[in-house]
Amino acid sequence: MARVIQCIADNVVSPLGRTSMENYVNVKAGCSGLARFEEMDRVSSPFMLSRIDRYVMDELCIGLDIPDGKYTFFEKMLLTSSIQAVRKAGIDPSSDRVLFIISTTKGNVSLLDRDVKGFPQERVLLGKSASMVSRYFGNPNAPVVVCNACISGVCAQIEAMRALQSGRYDYAVVTGADEQSPFIISGFLSFKALTDTPCRPFDKDRTGLNLGECAATVVLKASDAPACGWVLEGGAIRNDANHISGPSRTGEGSYLALMEVLRKCGREGLAFVNVHGTATAYNDEMESIALYRAGLIDVPVTGLKGYYGHTMGAAGIMESILSMYAVQDGTVLATRGYAEQGVTYPVNVSPENRPAHGNRFIKLLSGFGGCNAALSYAYYS
């Protein structure tokens, strides 16, 4: 008998709030964290960024008794979110029945910049950041970092589900974050993937993506008996086997991941699909094809990049959490920035909040390396 994997606590730290609820209320009200930057260090072209105020972060750290000077900004992101979620869950994080899983793409990469000082170079290793977090909680288990580009946040939850299913652990703390340093911004600029105006997912005039900073955590629990609340019912990761930086023109990997999730979890009660919706020409087009092929073209879709930008390691977790709040609130969140259909297979997207019908959602992501991932959560009262 498979165990039931419940989400028992969550947290989102972003420019739109320090808790999941604050974030949800602000998103529902249409607020965005995106702002225009003319430059950053040696990056001299303008770009949009949803950036966490460093003073606000330090204040949050003080409130949570996180010692000053010991942690990098990226590590503070991980800690502020995971501490709040672990407290909310009321679990003992030092138990050997708890596993810590970190989702990030670039971690402390900003330490490679010769102008950045104050921390030893070895902290650039992602495993060191993960150990820093598990050690903070006094957890005895070896943490693992999921590093699968933009889909890491969904993969980390899938891996947590598997680790819990195995019976070795009873709880998993899954935290994702990425700092938007000149390293990442310059790279995306070199890809001509960024736009210097607010992004417009699925819109005919979309011109590229925005980046954003966020830390998000879910605490998952395995139960042997049927449980109520949010249940992570299935997930899948599939590769396009097409190109390392461009999505498949036929949406192959996303389609396969969606089909596997639908096979495991069914379509009943599906309120919406929370898509990747980066607002690049290729991504949104690919997603529309994958949704169409999976028979989901009529299901409402919603994308959150217009509020947060692309938050990379946090995206899969934060967007899952906001989706949980939206389902419980009976709302399909507006896709901020969308105005007019701009993909071959018209997706069911709206610039306004809409009523949601159902107890389930699918979270879909795709990323560099040709990887794609989907998962499904359902709410049982």
Asked if 364 is part of the footprint of other proteins (rule: CB under 8 A), the reply reads no
Complex with other proteins: residue 110 or 335, whichever CB lies closer: 110
Asked if 253 is part of the footprint of other proteins (rule: CB under 8 A), the reply reads yes
CB of 134 to other proteins, least distance (A): 9
Asked if 39 is part of the footprint of other proteins (rule: CB under 8 A), the reply reads no
| Residues of this chain, 19-38, that bind other proteins according to CB under 8 A | none
Near other proteins by CB under 8 A: residue from 149, 279, 289, 318 = 149
Asked if 166 is part of the footprint of other proteins (rule: CB under 8 A), the reply reads yes
Token pair 């590769």 is at which residue? 239
Asked if 241 is part of the footprint of other proteins (rule: CB under 8 A), the reply reads yes
Q: How far is CA 305 from CA 75, 103, 246, in A?
A: 23, 18, 19
Q: Are 365 and 155 in contact (CB under 8 A)?
A: no
Asked if 371 is part of the footprint of other proteins (rule: CB under 8 A), the reply reads yes
Asked if 315 is part of the footprint of other proteins (rule: CB under 8 A), the reply reads no
Asked if 124 is part of the footprint of other proteins (rule: CB under 8 A), the reply reads yes
Backbone angles phi, psi at 304, to 5 degrees: -110, 5
CB of 351 to other proteins, least distance (A): 27
Near other proteins by CB under 8 A: residue from 240, 284, 285, 319 = 240
- Residues contacting residue 63 through CB under 8 Å, at least 6 positions apart: none
CB of 191 to other proteins, least distance (A): 5
Asked if 326 is part of the footprint of other proteins (rule: CB under 8 A), the reply reads no
Give the contact letters, 44-83, x = binds to other proteins (CB under 8 A), - = no. ----------------------------------------
CA angle 304, 305, 311 (to 5 degrees): 110
Under rule CB under 8 A, how many of the chain's residues touch other proteins? 57
Strands 229-239 and 171-178: unpaired
CB of 145 to other proteins, least distance (A): 4
CB of 233 to other proteins, least distance (A): 13
Ordered DSSP codes for 200-219? -TTBTT---B-EE-EEEEEE
Complex with other proteins: residue 157 or 331, whichever CB lies closer: 157
Complex with other proteins: residue 141 or 328, whichever CB lies closer: 141
Asked if 146 is part of the footprint of other proteins (rule: CB under 8 A), the reply reads yes
| Strand positions, DSSP E, the chain | 4-13, 34-37, 47-50, 98-103, 144-146, 171-178, 211-212, 214-223, 229-239, 270-274, 301-302, 331-332, 354-355, 360-367, 371-380
* Closest to 364 (Cα-Cα) out of 328, 293, 315: 315
Complex with other proteins: residue 17 or 208, whichever CB lies closer: 208
Asked if 342 is part of the footprint of other proteins (rule: CB under 8 A), the reply reads no
Q: How far is CA 284 from CA 85, 122, 208, 291, in A?
A: 32, 38, 10, 10
Strands 98-103 and 144-146: parallel
Asked if 165 is part of the footprint of other proteins (rule: CB under 8 A), the reply reads yes
Asked if 128 is part of the footprint of other proteins (rule: CB under 8 A), the reply reads yes
CA distance 99 to 278: 31
| Residues of this chain, 90-119, that bind other proteins according to CB under 8 A | 105-106, 109, 112-114
Asked if 142 is part of the footprint of other proteins (rule: CB under 8 A), the reply reads yes
CA distance 64 to 85: 12
Q: Are 183 and 177 in contact (CB under 8 A)?
A: no
Q: Which residues pair with 219 in a beta bridge?
A: 9, 173
Asked if 163 is part of the footprint of other proteins (rule: CB under 8 A), the reply reads yes
CA distance 50 to 359: 30
Query: Site residues (CB under 8 A) for other proteins?
Result: 42, 105-106, 109, 112-114, 124-128, 130-131, 142-149, 155, 159, 162-163, 165-166, 168, 182-183, 186-187, 189-192, 236-246, 252-253, 256, 260, 367-371
